Structure 1
């Protein structure tokens, strides 16, 4: 077979600030998937994209080419609308756990194909695997059965969805090109579009514990992804949400499941409840139910019923005891005053060092490891009062975790102004 293009020409073209036509992008992703374009060449091209960006047409073509590298799913046979949510990840971000059953309780199908954590941001599947017996890997028939019988499913995305993206992400992770907005957007949206959902709500984080710390960069990413979804016929909107402070009071796996169950029982931290209700209302709006009373469904037990059925449907026991750590250490206030700052990144790294996260995809997580926060910004504290508690099974991990968390909570004399959790909503009409 004679290849129609030379990858070195494409690398030079992008290196020099040029745009890649559709045919060249389609060939590039196909040749990379086939192994004709070698990792060194794709890494060079990824760096050229990182430095020079891509225009909207290029990003759309790249996304569609990655979708075409694998298979796609369809839920058309369910006979009801489907809606999904994707978060760019953050510290304490357990929103998928209460959100899926809440939205599904309104008769909408919620296929949440999720991932595992890497680094300081936790993975939804890791959290749910704290529940004895629960399994993430389902066949397509099992996914469809969960959606028919329960209304929602949280499970692992199959390797057949956008396989080119998986190969490209592995290169980006080791070549310093992860933060490229065109590559982030096409990576996320290729999998979400291939999943076959009718509608999609994006939760794009900004702040110290987020993937992109700057709100302007996060806005650019959100707008790019909303445009990609809309171009592909998926009703898409996005929220920019604050990740300067961890979400809720639990950071880890088993402890985040406990907190999520509290929310489903009508309690839980106010910020977790606020974001859950905001995203649920938007998901249902896109699914054709703009007047759904999501707050009522969270407190009257409907969402909890769906949660329990979904856990049982995937082999788990919703009544089983969750793992509890053998060791703990509480950090206390060195002075009195108000909590003025709480650094999400530092606390996320500390939880990761305790074993709640992984440094490499093959690492195992300790489901009982994590951090529980006793205070949040704006709270008044007195000297000696508990600020947060670190938990884990390996005492040797605590020194490095405490080092990471040193100074994560600042105390001052004046109560700080509360930062808005949801900064903006981005609709397709605005891009």
Structure 2
């Protein structure tokens, strides 16, 4: 295992030689703390802020980039001006708008940073001829830390606990993992008769989200229930399938969990190729339906802020079906869904991360049709309710 510093409890600083320079850099790069557009728990709302859509710098690579491939986007919002994600299919992080490459170990050719905690510990997946490997990294460190037994590291909390999974193509099954201090803390069980598809989130209380599939009992060879899964911090407790459990052509996909235990994600109905955002709250009996922006036909939630209840994702309009429009969407936890402005009035955008300071990270197409990682600062002040009749917009590149 290569290491750029201990992966232990992140109550520690990021490292003696790196911490001071990093914090200075972050402070210089940080946007003014934001108003979260009416969210009750929003921080620093009395401080003025400058709403902006910031285009982040990119690593060297080709200029014709397709947003459907997820090779250039922000996936996580860290402290101050730090954000993390992927640039030209390589793991990257940004201080303000300046890009920094995550050092690739021997055998790795690409990858993505998927998440970051409030002390700058980032986690993600490396790719290469040798397969996928889960990793952790701290800004300024000279090497990554490989997480044993894992292929995907998808989330990290402020205690330094990392969650992810590995996939066995020979059996078509996945195993969930939780790491602490660079070592496996536990394998994550699934309910009896179910299989795991993905682990997606963890909060500071140790609650873990994911999703899987299970049989109805009518046919042992079919997986006809497709629910979200919620685990507690109790290592002896079995995970709970979130209701409803889905069915043929229906999938429930939790994507993130906040510090109060609110879970956001979406429902995917494959027959109609339609997604709708969902919110689960304790006691998790049924999810709440969240309205789509006016004129949209589909939408997702990809992240929720830790404490301010702001959720973000992407809203899609298909009218007619060949005119597909995707816009970043923003919800304060109540009221109507809103959308965020793109780099062009009608261009593609999508949001994948949101912080308590009301920074939102994602991707947007420029006028030339090139995808760029972006951050919206003071996003709540930029979000607006779209007009239902404004449905014919610029077409992003189609996925292959």
TM-score, with structure 1 as normaliser: 0.25
Structure of greater relative contact order (alpha carbons < 8 Å, 6+ residues apart) = 1
Greater percentage in strand: 2
Q: Which has the larger radius of gyration?
A: 1
TM-score, structure 2 as length reference: 0.26
